[in-house]
Amino acid sequence: MILEIGIAIIIGIILGTITGLTPGIHINLIAAIVMAGSSRLLEYFPALYIGTTLISMAVTHTFLDIIPTTFLGAADSDNALTLLPSHRLLMEGRGLESIKLAIFGSFFGLVAIIILTPVIIGHITAAYEIIKDYIQYILIGISIIIIKKSKEPKIAILVFILSGVLGVVVFSLKTLEQPLFPLLSGLFGISALILGIKNKINIPEQIKDLKLNIDNLKIFTNIIVSCIASLFTSFLPGLTSSHTTAVASAINEIKDENDYIIVNSAINTISMFLSLIALYSIDKARSGVIVTLSNIMSVGKLQILYFTAVCLITAFIAIFLTLKLERIFSKFMPRLNYKRLCSCIIGFLLILTILISGGIGIIVLVISTCVGIFCLLTNIERIHLMGTLILPVILYFSL
């Protein structure tokens, strides 16, 4: 059994590496494929092993997705706020610093939330019962706060509404398969890659032996704030890690770009773990991976303990894997033709969109890319593009 579990973890790490390094390929897409073929998979593999692979994949993804965010300037919905700080460090030759900061945040965030889990489980059910009838108002409140903090609130509102209306329309298309894939690939992936080609970015040589000067007290504070903010938002639908980072900034103002990377990475991993806790404590699946997990097996106390161990084992492996891959990227990226690389990734995403979502998916991809480019050209924080998820959720709970 130990051998089989080890193999399941390794498969999850491989899948998480693919999703983490490839812009547009999200763990939720893999989870959807697994769910579609779950009846056949369960004929050959126990549900526990499939669940192990899913959780291992999710953890690995949260460690590795900082690499394309840093080197390609292509973020997903969870790292929208980390994009500028990490890409800026890359252009200063300090890409390794960005990766190490993210690893710090992800690992210590995971450890902290695991320590707090008994307390969370003991109180979260009662807390959720209090807020569940006010979810739409909480989402509206968080959106207003984030828009007011924007450099250009009027343009931020426009971006939020544009992406929100797009989300409402896309999710109403019954014939569209995997609507999130073309929608988020356009908003966060292809839009950034197109501007990367236009701006003719040349990645400088990266500093190899870079030492981090990190204040231990500051890390502790950032991790605690990340846990508090994640508890506030992880049990609400429609919110991403970027929204949680914005809430964390409201709790304890974050000005330093290094702190942003640590906090966002911590929240990314914490939110993944809390989605597992949400399934156990309030029977709500807040991510595609957990939706698939809930469809193939039940999760009780023993399963929570088991998956916690899987998370920790995967995290240790992911640390070394991320550092190794970062060194490979930092060595070869300055030598690669950035324009050609971005063009290849765009072509790859176009092909995947056709295969997964068909002709309608291409239309969605083009429109969402235009909205994403508009957001980037107006220098508005990309978190406002998440109106594409929040507005449909607000309408769902309001109507």
DSSP string covering 286-353: -SHHHHHHHHH----HHHHHHHHHHHHHHHHHHHHHHHHHHHHHHHHGGGS-HHHHHHHHHHHHHHHH
pLDDT average, residue stretch 259-271: 87
Number of domains present in the structure of the chain: 1
Residue-wise DSSP of 226-259? HHHHHHHHTTSTT--HHHHHHHHHHHS---SHHH
Which pLDDT band holds residue 298 (cuts at 50, 70, 90)? confident
Q: Is the pLDDT of residue 336 over 80?
A: no
CA dihedral 171, 172, 178, 180 (to 10 degrees): -20
The residue type at 312: L
Contacts of 368 (CB under 8 A, 6+ apart): 163, 166, 182, 183, 184, 185, 186, 187, 191, 388
pLDDT tens figures, 349-385: 899 899 888 899 999 999 999 999 999 889 888 888 8
pLDDT of residue 201: 66
8 A C-beta contact, residue 170 and residue 179: yes
Q: Is the pLDDT of residue 395 over 60?
A: yes
**CA torsion sign, 341 to 371 to 275 to 227?**
positive
Instruction: Look up residue 80 and give its two tokens.
Output: 């929208």
Among candidate residues 216, 317, 235, the one with its CA nearest the CA of residue 276: 235
Interatomic CA distance for residues 194 and 197, integer angstroms: 5
Q: Is 23 left (phi over 0), alpha (psi -120 to 50) or beta?
A: beta
Q: Is the pLDDT of residue 17 over 90?
A: yes
pLDDT of residue 337: 77
Among candidate residues 152, 199, 213, the one with its CA nearest the CA of residue 375: 152
Q: Is the pLDDT of residue 304 over 90?
A: yes
What residue has token string 């003991």? 122
325 against 340, higher pLDDT: 325
8 A C-beta contact, residue 114 and residue 277: no
pLDDT of residue 83: 59
* Least confident residue range of 58-62, 85-89, 114-118, 180-184: 85-89
pLDDT average, residue stretch 15-40: 85
Which pLDDT band holds residue 247 (cuts at 50, 70, 90)? low
8 A C-beta contact, residue 389 and residue 82: no
pLDDT of residue 255: 64
pLDDT average, residue stretch 14-34: 86
Chain mean pLDDT for the chain: 85
Instruction: Look up residue 372 and give its two tokens.
Output: 């994403």
Q: Is the pLDDT of residue 37 over 70?
A: yes
Q: Is the pLDDT of residue 200 over 70?
A: no
pLDDT average, residue stretch 132-144: 86
Tally the C-alpha atoms within 13 A of residue 106's C-alpha that lie toward its C-beta: 31
Burial environment of residue 38 by CB neighbours within 10 A (0 to 12, 13 to 18, 19 or more): middle
8 A C-beta contact, residue 297 and residue 303: yes
Q: Is the pLDDT of residue 248 over 80?
A: no
CA dihedral 315, 316, 321, 326 (to 10 degrees): 80
8 A C-beta contact, residue 88 and residue 50: no
74 against 228, higher pLDDT: 228
pLDDT of residue 8: 95
Burial environment of residue 209 by CB neighbours within 10 A (0 to 12, 13 to 18, 19 or more): exposed
Which pLDDT band holds residue 262 (cuts at 50, 70, 90)? confident
The proportion of the chain whose per-residue pLDDT surpasses 90, expressed as a percent, equals 32
CA dihedral 191, 194, 199, 203 (to 10 degrees): 90
pLDDT of residue 167: 93
Q: Where in the sequence is the domain holding 379, given as residue range(s)?
A: 2-398
Distance between first and last Cα of the chain: 49
pTM here is: 0.85
